[in-house]
Each structure stands twice: as C-alpha cells, then as structure tokens.
Amino acid sequence: MSETIVRVKICGIRTAESIDAAVSAGAHAIGFVRAPSSPRFVSREDLVPLVQRVPPFVCVVLVYRDSGIDEITLDLRAIAPRAAIVQLHGHEDEAFASSVPATIIRALPWSAEGVRRWQACGAIKALLLDAPDPGSGVTAPWEEIAAGRASIELPFVLAGGLDAENVARALTLTRPEAVDVSSGVESSPGVKDSSKIAAFCKAVRRWGR
C-alpha cells in the first residue's frame, strides 16, 4: 500500500530549540511570524540566526499581516541567500501579492468566494484555509471545506486548531496537501512544546500510512 505524504508546517517558532524539535520530528516547513501583534512575533534581528539554523531541505515561511512591501523585501534580503515562502494573512490585495518577490501562500478563512478570488490571482501558488480567528486554537470548518473540496484547485494547507488528537479526522475530511499547526503544539501562547511537536508529526505520518 502506498503512503500518502502530507507535509507539516510548524508555525510561530521563536527559538533554536523549537526549530531543532520540529526538524527532528520530521516537519517539512518552519513558519516565522512577522506580525508584531502576535505572541509568536520574531524581530528581524532574531529572524536571521533562526533562519540560518533551518536545514536546507526544510522550507522557511515568513508570515505577515498587513505589512508593507518594503518590510517584506528587507526581510527577504536579510535572510538571503536563503529563499523563503511568504504567507499573507491580512487585507493584502492581488496587486500587493503580485508585487512580493517570493512564492506566495494566501491565508484566508474558508469560503467558496474567497477560494475563487485567490485562485484567479496568478501570484498565489497555494492557499492556507484557516479558522475565522487565526491563532485562536479554534478549528476551521472541516465539513464545509470537505463539501467544497472539488473547487479547490491550488495546493492547500489546512490550519486552525489542529493538534495530535484531531488532525487525523481533519485529514480524512478535507484531504489537504499540507497541515499547519501552531497553538496545538504549545504549552502556552508562543511557547512551543517539543513533545507536542513530535506527537503531531507522528499523528500525520500515521494517518498517511
């Protein structure tokens, strides 16, 4: 029987120890939050050495909410020559997304209209479907996503309230290409728990088998 590989992104990482735990657990991507309002925010000064610690075959994702193009460009230059994917979580429009000099993931709460809108933007290479209040620990509407799954043409990442206990059911219902977890692998907001990271990655692999 063939294995279904679902990629795992551990988001909101702030320490070298958490990077090591995620990589050891088999994560495919590490997300760094550059939104100052988030408890998972990392400054540009801290971002650079953290990115340098990520192994070359693990993706780096920089997460923004209504940041300016100059700030994003400065971040990308600061971590060069390492490439990064940019994830947009705010009110950025299609013109803004097209101006970002990187591969773009568009994050949005599930809606058929939102999916249609962003799939029509050539700059967007993947969608991240989240809960209405990102980072709150509330799950995305899995049943609604499942009902509209055929309309999702781009690769999509499922986010929102995932943890080791519920991720198998979420995967069975929605069949994403990847999953994104943040609060579900924390001991408190912004503080990652290595054992929870390991358990989450193990649960995803177990489902794939």
Active site positions, annotated: 11, 130
Does the residue 200 lie in any domain? yes
pLDDT at 4: 85
pLDDT at 138: 81
Does the residue 118 lie in any domain? yes
- Domain with residue 184: its CATH number is 3.20.20.70
Does the residue 194 lie in any domain? yes
Does the residue 1 lie in any domain? no
Q: pTM score, two decimals?
A: 0.95
Over residues 125-168, the pLDDT tens digits come to 999 999 877 666 689 999 999 999 999 999 999 999 999 999 99
Does the residue 155 lie in any domain? yes
Mean pLDDT estimate for the chain: 95
pLDDT at 84 over 70: yes
pLDDT at 208 over 90: no
Range of the domain at 19: 7-92+99-208
Between the alpha carbon of residue 11 and those of residues 48, 89, 122, 158, 180, the distances in Å are 16, 13, 25, 12, 7
pLDDT at 88 over 60: yes
pLDDT at 22: 98
Q: Parallel, antiparallel, or unpaired for β 186-188 and 191-192?
A: antiparallel
Count up the domains in the chain and report the number.
Answer: 1
Partners of 86 in the β-ladder: 62, 104
Q: Answer positive or negative: Cα dihedral of 61, 67, 69, 75.
A: negative
pLDDT at 136: 65
Residue 47: pLDDT band by 50, 70, 90 thresholds? very high
CB 192 within 8 A of CB 21: yes
CB 161 within 8 A of CB 128: no
The three-state secondary structure class of 4 is coil
Does the residue 2 lie in any domain? no
The 10 Å CB-count burial string (b at 16+, else e) for 141-167 is bbeebeebeeebeeebbbbbbbbbeeb
pLDDT at 3: 79
